[in-house]
Structure 1
Amino acid sequence: MPVARVPRAERGHGMAPKFGTSGLRGLVTELTDDLVADHVRAFADACDTGGVLCVGRDLRPSSPEIATAVARAARSAGLRVIDCGEIPTPALALAARQHGGGAVMVTGSHIPADRNGLKFYARGGEITKEDEAAILAALDSVRPAAEHDDDVERDDQAGARFVSRYVSACGAEALSGKRIGLYSHSAVGRDHLAEILRALGAEVTELGRSDTFIPVDTEAVAPEVRQALSEWAAELGLDAIVSTDGDSDRPLLGDESGAVVPGDVLGQITAKMLGAETVVTPISSNSGVTDKGFEQVIRTRIGSPYVIAAMEEAGGRVVGYEANGGFLLGYEAQGPAGPLDALPTRDSVLPILMCLIAAGSGPVSLRVAVEPPVVTLADRLQEVPVEHSRALVERFRSSPSERATFLDGLDASEASVDLTDGVRMSLTDDRVVHVRPSGNAPELRLYVEARDRDSAHALLSRGLDQLRAAVGTGRPG
């Protein structure tokens, strides 16, 4: 049985610890106890936690020690600390809502194990851009640690409540008769997802479980992972294969052939299944969503803080999702068998379940095929120093001739350009090429859109070649 290889670790270009609305990210060797403590205490000073902090962690080797540092710092800031253990990020967010407090998730998400980070949640949910500014300001005046004890409570049922959320909303027969492969790798939510699928009636076969951390990016799925999904599907006769990224807030769904269903398509399907009226999604997502009959579609910059801000402004029956598939539910919705409380943070489970249920007794690929005929793909160049990515994108932003030179290498011409986030070039033949630097890793990301999968793959491949040459030579193409 094939198992996707562990991608080689990146070499730390431009990865000194960095704080933003995605949290704190950096090399493990540089995430010292003092640095972690400063950020936790600044967060406690700047944001509403209700005096309570839930702490969770992923399965990276460094996560337990960092989580201990988080708890110690939170206690020194006078917070009541609740240890939720190894738990998916959305399950931690749910637990924090239930406890009426904030949360810190120790995770580096989809980046390699030589890095880690902290995701911060205030009492109202994920931190906003305003929270980010307040925390950065508080870092300049962090108070010395106060005398404190090390008393930490435990919530051993947070994961069980997360599982129950989906079982009660979907019903015990929702996936009856389906044979589902679960690519477990090192995802922290692998056992929770298996429990949910089985409780909904599916026959689950675990695949590729690993004791070594594997950085799985659900938005730019590695070729070796795609090959493994295809081989598993063919060998085992599965109806679908599911997985998540490391902290289990981004979904991965392969159809009966193992072909990956794009995360934004999962979002479209889920929004319809839940009866949403307003959809909020970044400009990198599939533009076919505008053809699905929602009352309103709002496009934002890339990143959940922008999605959440637009969801809060819109109100009502609003949902959000990103191209990576993370789905945000902004209201109490009705599932196939019961209600679903709002959970406005990235969730991997809901889009996986809604797509599987939407397929009914037929193949997943047939349900996906009825979506608007727009194909989006994404990938990235790794080990690109952040300053190089930003410089290249800035040249594209400021110079039409630089963009034209880049597009000449794709036998394409620009019809219009959108500078909302990075550089999104709409081409004269209705294709799209979108270039932006990653906000939290030394990566240069490329998003493409076309009317069929072959064209999209060809555009992605040629675009990456052009960007690789541009980064290597300092010129676009």
Structure 2
Amino acid sequence: MNVMTLQEIAAQSGVAFGTSGARGLVADMTPALCHAYTTAFLLAVAPKATHVVLGHDLRPSSPAIAAACAAAARDQGLTVVYAGALPTPALALYGAQTGAPTIVVTGSHIPFDRNGIKFYREDGEISKADEQAMLGYLVGLPKNLQPAPLPAPLAAVQQAYVDRYVNFFGAQALEGMTVAVYEHSSVGRDVLREILEGLGAEVLPLDRSDEFVPIDTEAVRHEDVERALEWAAVHDFDAVVSTDGDADRPLIGDETGEWLRGDVVGILCAQYLQAQAVVTPVSSNTALERSQVFGQVLRTRIGSPYVIAGMEGALAQGAGLVVGYEANGGFLLGSQVLRNGQRLGPLPTRDAVLPIVALLCAAKERGLKVSELGYKLPKRFTASDRLQNVATQASQALIARLKHDTALLGQLLAPHSGPLEALDETDGLRAFFASGDIVHLRPSGNAPELRCYAESSSALNARKLCDSCLLRVLQVAG
């Protein structure tokens, strides 16, 4: 067995920590490498653990990776609580309830030839400091590792996730509503249906797929935009909902089949919960501040670990009910919520179910259509997309060049938006223009992609800003 630091192993393999968890090519995620990552996690972050919760998404490569993680846990003397294919937040919730670390094998929305592993302490996602501790740990790469088959999954893990929402919102919370569920290949498709039906909704399942569909809730594919509009023309529903691959990011459409932006979903969910403090990355819609609803707003770098760190800081300062969300719609609950005598405990990891149910309940309780929920929000609109197969080094080089050449920056990002007024370098390069337009370039932390985020006073202009910026960037890169 070769012994070296996880940092050295990561450098040799190309499997590395990104925005959330370790990600890499499936071909590089060998049983030995996954064994090493798991060993480093258990020894560096959870040395006192006696058991570990383990689950995965529906990617074909995920069960084999999970089996290697299970082998590493058993080699450290831990009992493996195998939950099977379940949403990431369902697994993290059960780990928190049972005082156990959790390992989730998932590539979320990234390309099909890639996968990943997310690690959770018993109190939530690992931090960037935890990642550094893991990278510095000495671990071995076992030779000829042949992991044992995974056991039957423990049904109690899924039941705990269902109970969380049905008990809090109530069995009649969505009675009389019809909710379409775009099932595709999401690991949450069955449990989401069970929760919605448990809340009294009639569920209309749509387009279940046996092949993996890479749904990115922050950059919805054109075919999914068209598909939802076609469904609305054929079916009578109050909303259409879905999630990304590991079901920690929601995709919510109104009764017309129009998908809501994730950062608007975050604001509406925070309002419904009556949050006092909201933490979100710099890429989220500025309607959050402009609404003047929340007592405290904190902006962070992109990625749930940074949002969680911001939430922890707000809680330490006694901020009251603290929530967080990302532009992809993933919602984090930092405080307990009391409602009608029921308690919803904190879940400081991204979740798709809470914002879905909260918006549906808000519409029903207020007698509104889902399309009408955001009518009082300031008229700010966002759009986002990405260029795929762009090396991270190339993206970083472009951003470094633009920082030192503001004339080129204006021409490349938004030549018709007036003079550049300010730059925010919190994460990538975010440019504010005199017209009120905002354009933001950032290398993805999970895949070789360059992401663009745009914000403007109209949805059409936000989309034009994003698309035209990426087209110009592609021409420069070419």
What's the TM-score, normalizing by structure 1? 0.91
Amino acid at match of 1:425: A
1: distance between equivalents of 2:457 and 2:195?
35
The alpha carbon displacement at 1:389 in A equals 1.4
Q: Measure the CA separation in 2 of the matches of 1:318 and 1:306.
A: 14
Q: Deviation at 1:232?
A: 0.4
Which segment drifts farther, 137-146 or 405-414? 137-146
Given candidates 442, 445, 448, the residue that maps to 1:439 is 445
1:319-398 paired onto structure 2 within 5 Å: 319-335=323-339, 338-360=342-364, 361-398=367-404
Query: Could you tell me how far apart the structure 2 residues matched to 1:91 and 1:75 are?
Result: 22
Partner of 1:475: none
SS at match of 2:382: strand
Contact 1:381 1:444 in 2 (8 A): yes
Report if the CA contact (8 A) 1:407-1:414 is conserved.
Answer: no
Q: How many residues align?
A: 458
- Give the Cα separation in 2 of the matches to 1:41 and 1:177: 49
Q: 1:255 to 1:408 in 2, by over 3 A?
A: closer
Q: Distance in 2 between matches of 1:30 and 1:293?
A: 47
Match of 1:37 in 2: 35
Kindly report structure 1 stretches of 4+ aligned residues shifted beyond 3 Å: 139-146, 148-154, 407-412
For 1:100 and 1:253, the matched residues in 2 are separated by 32
C-alpha displacement of 1:154 = 4.9
The answer as to whether partners of 1:88 and 1:249 remain within 8 angstroms in 2 is yes
How much is the aligned-residue C-alpha RMSD, in angstroms?
2.2
Contact kept? 1:328, 1:345, Cα under 8 Å: yes
Instruction: Quote how far apart the aligned CAs of 1:404 are.
Output: 2.7
- Retained in 2: the 8 A contact 1:21–1:132? no
Pairing 1:293–2:299 present = no
Structure 1 CA distance, aligned partners of 2:150 and 2:244?
Answer: 32
SS in 1 for 2:430: strand
Secondary structure (helix, strand or coil) at the match of 2:137 reads: helix
Distance 1:150 1:192, change over 3 A: closer
Cα distance between partner residues in 2 of 1:320 and 1:437: 22
Q: 2:411 aligns with which of 405, 412, 434?
A: 405
For residue 220 of structure 1, give the secondary structure of its aligned residue in structure 2.
coil
Q: Residue deviations 1:168-203, cap 9 Å, x none?
A: 111122112212110000000101111111111211
CA distance in 1, matches of 2:206, 2:421: 45
Task: Indicate the SS of the match to 1:369.
Answer: coil
What residue is the counterpart of 1:10 in the other structure? none
Equivalent residue number for residue 22 of structure 1: 20
Deviation for aligned residue 1:460: 1.7
Q: Distance in 1 between matches of 2:225 and 2:341?
A: 33
Separation in 1 of the partners of 2:68 and 2:151?
12
| Contact 2:178–2:203 (8 Å) recurs in 1 | yes
Secondary structure of the 2:136 match is helix
* Larger CA deviation: 364-373 vs 307-316: 364-373
State the partner residue of 2:307: 307
Whichever residue aligns with residue 94 of structure 1, its letter is: L
- % identical equivalent positions: 47
The more displaced of 416-425 and 405-414 is 405-414
Relative to structure 1, the CA distance from residue 78 to residue 21 in structure 2 (aligned partners, 3 Å threshold; closer, same or farther) is farther
Alpha-carbon contact 2:280-2:298 (below 8 Å) kept: yes
Could you give the per-residue CA deviations for residues 385-418 of structure 1, whole angstroms, max 9, x where no partner exists?
A: 2221121122123332331331464454311110
The answer (yes or no) to whether the contact 1:407–1:413 under 8 Å persists in 2 is no
- The Cα of 1:384 is off from its aligned counterpart by 1.4
Q: Report the equivalent of 1:157.
A: 156
Tell me, what secondary structure is at the counterpart of 1:455? helix
State the SS of the aligned residue for 1:312. helix
Structure 1, 22-31 or 223-232: larger mean CA deviation: 22-31
CA contact (8 A) 2:173 2:361 kept: yes
After the TM superposition, which residues 77-476 of structure 1 pair with which residues of structure 2 at under 5 Å, given as runs? 77-139=76-138, 154-290=153-289, 291-315=291-315, 316-335=320-339, 338-360=342-364, 361-407=367-413, 409-410=415-416, 412-472=418-478
CA distance in 1, matches of 2:234, 2:190: 23
Q: Does structure 2 conserve the Cα–Cα contact (< 8 Å) formed by 1:240 and 1:255? A: yes
For residues 135 and 222 of structure 1, the distance between their equivalents in structure 2, rounded to whole angstroms, comes to: 36
8 Å Cα contact 1:168-1:337 kept in structure 2: no
Q: Matched residues in 2 for 1:403 and 1:355: separation? A: 38
Corresponding residue for residue 5 of structure 1: none
* Contact 1:409/1:466 (<8 A) preserved: no
Query: Does 109-118 or 323-332 show the bigger shift?
Result: 109-118
The alignment partner of 1:390 has SS state of: helix
Conserved? CA contact 2:66–2:105, under 8 Å: yes
1:51 aligns with 2:50: yes
Residue 80 of structure 1 and its aligned partner are, at CA, apart by: 2.1
Deviates more, 1:452-461 or 1:23-32: 452-461
Corresponding residue SS for 1:157: helix
Deviates more, 1:106-115 or 1:211-220: 106-115
Q: Distance in 1 between matches of 2:352 and 2:193?
A: 13
Question: Is the contact between residue 36 and residue 140 of structure 2 (CA under 8 Å) also seen in structure 1?
Answer: no
The Cα offsets for residues 237-265 of structure 1, whole Å up to 9 and x where unpaired, read as: 22110000000000000111111111111
